[in-house]
Amino acid sequence: MAGSVRDASARAPAVWRPLGRVAAVALLTVGLGGAVPPPHEEAAPGVDVAIVLAADVSSSVDYEEAKLQRAGYADALVSDKVQAAIRSGARGRIAVAYMEWSTAGRKRLVLDWTIIDGPESARRAAAELRGPMVRSGRNSYGRTSISYALETAALLITKLPWSADRHVVDVSGDGTNNDGPPLAQSRQRVLSRGIVINGLPIGADPAVADYYRAEVIGGPGAFMVPASSYAAFAEAVREKIALEVAGVTGEATVAAAR
């Protein structure tokens, strides 16, 4: 991938790229355990934070809910709150990527690494997230592999074309890990690389929020912002991304959006 931000209109439609479970887990383990690839040559200054937005589209998430997740992130990027947080950073620019995940071995990269440094770049990224979703049968399916999502996001961070002061995986979902590698092992591999894991549990079941707090989030200043429903998701995302961009530190923080 070139060091410059690609024109959103020139990108090919995002597609599922399935791998066998054994192959997927082996590839992730080798990738995270081995040496970090040589850094890309930078064509621009670094960013305050690089965030992988990792959205659950397993079988518990229907087509409309998947659309709400994309729309929530798109709205957040152009919101005054997030734009103000970006401007307050030392560099005044962040990098974001958006991926959807479900069963181990299945992910969709919807938005590759993109610089957000003001309203115009935010609008371009948001337009890509709001783009048409292919609806062939179920748009979301499979079991829930948070472990696969975390490790896939960490591999994506190794391909970041710019330096970043902080690296964050922002994982959202409405269930617990029930597929792929053991979550504790995957989580530890990601944290060992200096990546912070933040969470956005969705739904009224407090057990899911408790699970994210105890088993998913981690790293310096890790926090989560629960959303009581998919309807409340947009508000929760705005709050969460603004906090991530601002560099919240300290003990895990929980704020509820209802």
Quick: pLDDT tens for 145-188.
999 999 999 999 999 999 999 999 999 999 999 999 999 999 99
Q: How far apart are CA 246 and CA 26, in angstroms?
A: 35
Q: How far apart are CA 171 and CA 56, in angstroms?
A: 8
Residue 105: DSSP 8-state: T
Instruction: Output the pLDDT for position 134.
Output: 61
SS3 240: helix
Neighbouring CB atoms inside 10 A of 84's CB total 12
- Whether 92 and 49 have beta carbons less than 8 Å apart is answered as no
By DSSP bridging, strand 47-56 and strand 94-101 are parallel
Q: What is the pTM of this model?
A: 0.79
Q: How far apart are CA 107 and CA 200, in angstroms?
A: 18
Whether the per-residue pLDDT at 23 is higher than 60: the answer is no
* Beta carbons within 8 Å of 243's beta carbon, 6+ residues apart: 85, 223, 225, 253
| 8-18 confidence digits (pLDDT tens) | 434 444 444 45
Backbone dihedral angles phi then psi of residue 17, each to the nearest 5 degrees:
-125, 85
> Which CATH number among 3.40.190.10, 3.40.50.410, 3.40.50.80, 1.10.3430.10 corresponds to the domain 13-33+44-246?
3.40.50.410
Nearest partner of 140 among 211, 74, 69, judged by Cα: 69
Domain boundaries, the chain: 13-33+44-246
Q: Is 144 left (phi over 0), alpha (psi -120 to 50) or beta?
A: beta
| More confident: 231 or 48 | 48
Nearest partner of 121 among 257, 21, 6, 25, judged by Cα: 6
The model's confidence at residue 44, banded by pLDDT at 50, 70 and 90, is low
Nearest partner of 202 among 235, 160, 245, judged by Cα: 235
Instruction: Output the pLDDT for position 62.
Output: 85
**Strand locations in the chain, DSSP E?**
47-56, 94-101, 107-116, 164-173, 196-201
